[in-house]
Amino acid sequence: MSEEKYIQAGKIAAQARDLGASLVKDGTKVLDIANAIENKIKSLGGKIAFPVNISINDLAAHYTPIKNDLLTIQHDDYVKIDVGAHVDGWIADTAITIKPSGKDDLIICSEKMLENAIKIIKPGVTISEIGQVIQETAEQHGFNPINNLTGHSLDQYNLHAGISIPNIKNTSKLELQEGQVIAIEPFCTAGDGHVKDSGQAKIFMWIADKPSRLVEGRKIIELAKTEYKRLPFTIRWIPGISQLKAQIAVKQLVQAKALHEFLPLKEISGQPVAQAEHTVIVKNKPIITTKI
């Protein structure tokens, strides 16, 4: 693993995240924020590890704007910005929640969940200990963690390298090891604390080569493998094809099991969700790559 490149990617993702956070204002277009964040990653010499997720209120994750998306930020929205950048495939993954009307208990709770989890990270700590700290912190603040969203280990060109870190008490005795790289990403809500698939997917990822009868489909598969390096991508990025044709092509590719689709995830009781996330290199003195 390349520690240096993980750290470089972390600095890039953190700056892009903070730029995005500064743009979250009443009336701003989500599309403008997404473009600013993704351009920032590129201008700092990084590559985009996944389309920036800008998920609002009870959408916990996996929303990214389409071309010409008119969605705008409202005063009391909980705006979660989840950013991924990489350098030669070494990934940084980080998220923050911003509310134009000001930080409140729900957002503070998500930040404390993350802070308390990171405090116990070191070689030998178990997945169950991390989940317990996250859940207890949520409960101390009077909220629930989202019980079916998890943190995850990272590897080169791999956003989910095998280890899941639930945000709730669990029985996993698996121990973190020196040098592992993990993204800790707690989510909290005043609702039931569970998300389900909702709406149309905007984010996709290559899983297998399958024949496509559409010329657009063949082009998308090629891009998914070469340009997007088998990492998640969005139809907003696909050049030279209308949004409608791209949407038809990706739908066919999902049905053919050539692409995986990430559906927007909605909190089941409709309550707003806050999220905080950092990428951490596990050591006795952990390195938080996405902290500035």
Give catalytic status of residue 278 as yes or no.
no
User: Active-site residue 82, yes or no?
Assistant: yes
The one catalytic residue among 93, 111, 129, 216: 93
Give min distance, CB of 248 to Co ion, in A. Answer: 29
Of residues 58 and 93, the one with the C-beta less far from Co ion: 93
Residue 160 a catalytic site member? yes
By beta-carbon proximity to Co ion, the closer residue of 79 and 183 is 183
> 93 vs 261, which CB is nearer to Co ion?
93
List the catalytic residue out of 261, 267, 277, 278. Answer: 277
Nearer to Co ion, 238 or 265 (CB): 265
In three-state form (DSSP H/G/I as H, E/B as E, the rest C), the secondary structure along the chain is CCHHHHHHHHHHHHHHHHHHHHHCCCCCEHHHHHHHHHHHHHHCCCEEEEEEEEEECCEEECCCCCCCCCCECCCCCCEEEEEEEEECCEEEEEEEEECCCCCCHHHHHHHHHHHHHHHCCCCCCEHHHHHHHHHHHHHHCCCEECCCCEEEECECCECCCCCEEECCCCCCCCECCCCCEEEECCEEECCCCCEEECCCCCEEEECCCCCCCCHHHHHHHHHHHHCCCCCCEEHHHCCCCCHHHHHHHHHHHHHCCCEEEECCEEECCCCCEEECEEEEECCCCCEECCCC
Q: Looking at 185, 216, 261, 267, which residue is catalytic?
A: 185
Smallest gap from Cβ 277 to Co ion, in A, equals 6
Q: Which residues bind Co ion (CB under 5 A)?
A: 93, 183, 185
Q: C-beta of 92: minimal distance to Co ion in Å?
A: 10
User: CB of 226: closest distance to Co ion in angstroms?
Assistant: 24
Q: Which residues are catalytic?
A: 82, 93, 152, 160, 185, 277
